[in-house]
Amino acid sequence: MIFTSLLLLLATSAHGQTLYDAAHNITAITGTWSSGSQNVITGAGFATPSQEAFTYPKTTGMSYSFTADGYYEIARYRMTSNGTVPTCITGVMNWSHGTYVLASNGSIVMTPFGDGYQQIQDPCAAISNFIENYNYTELYVLWNIYQDPVKGYTLQLYQFDGTPLPPQYLVSTSPNMLPTQALRNVSTTTTTTTTVQNAVVVNANAGERRWEAASLTGLLTVISGFGLVSLLL
């Protein structure tokens, strides 16, 4: 399915100017999208910016929301295990929002408001749990929306280096988002809080995590500058 979509994508982006037609995206990008078993959803159920806090979802995953007037929000919950010390599993929650642009070359550029933050839990590190500001402009070089026979409308985003993100399924056509403005004042110095609580990492759903790790890395390479795409299958 993804393969077919990529071929369609190739056809539509071959002339430099991306056409946002049904072959590229069979529905609009506006709304809320979520990967895997859809436990990670943008909005008030994930981040509480005024308290720099998170509500931990049942499983790892990611969620992106887009409004019709140019705002986005991202919620991500990720885990990585340490190759040399397999019991050291690092958990990262991160949240950001801001404005996005659908560029004519088919990319999406997401510029944050500056109030994003992330929490990193690493049971084996000297500081096992800390929260810091997160403010990076994100570039997605390609995207498309296709119909998955089981999951329905599916958003595929490709990161700056061409690596595909896990497919995200449409949760709702009206975006579930926090207010589209800066929601906390950020000082230039990073706020760091330290605790010793690692329960969230320990209780993680291993199946979901493993699925995320099995990414489709290598499926697609973008030769930058030409907008050319080569399939490595």
Using CB under 6 A as the binding rule, whether residue 103 contacts ligand NAG is answered as yes
Q: CB of residue 77 vs ligand NAG: minimum separation in angstroms?
A: 9
**Cβ-contact 164, 154 below 8 angstroms:** no
> Which residue, 1 or 78, has its beta carbon nearer to ligand NAG?
78
Using CB under 6 A as the binding rule, whether residue 202 contacts ligand NAG is answered as no
Question: What span, in angstroms and rounded, lies between the C-alpha atoms of 129 and 180?
Answer: 28
Q: Figure out which of the listed residues 13, 42, 118, 144 binds ligand NAG, where binding follows CB under 6 A.
A: 118
219: tokens are: 């499926």
198 by Cβ neighbours in 10 Å (0-12 / 13-18 / 19+) ranks as middle
Q: Figure out which of the listed residues 84, 87, 189, 203 binds ligand NAG, where binding follows CB under 6 A.
A: 84
- Closest of 109, 106, 169, 176 to residue 137, by C-alpha: 109
Q: CB of residue 147 vs ligand NAG: minimum separation in angstroms?
A: 12
Question: In 113-167, which ranges are E strands?
Answer: 117-121, 129-133, 138-148, 152-159
Q: CB of residue 183 vs ligand NAG: minimum separation in angstroms?
A: 5
SS3 category, 219: coil
Using CB under 6 A as the binding rule, whether residue 88 contacts ligand NAG is answered as yes
Q: CB of residue 203 vs ligand NAG: minimum separation in angstroms?
A: 20
Q: Figure out which of the listed residues 17, 55, 82, 174 binds ligand NAG, where binding follows CB under 6 A.
A: 82
Using CB under 6 A as the binding rule, whether residue 216 contacts ligand NAG is answered as no
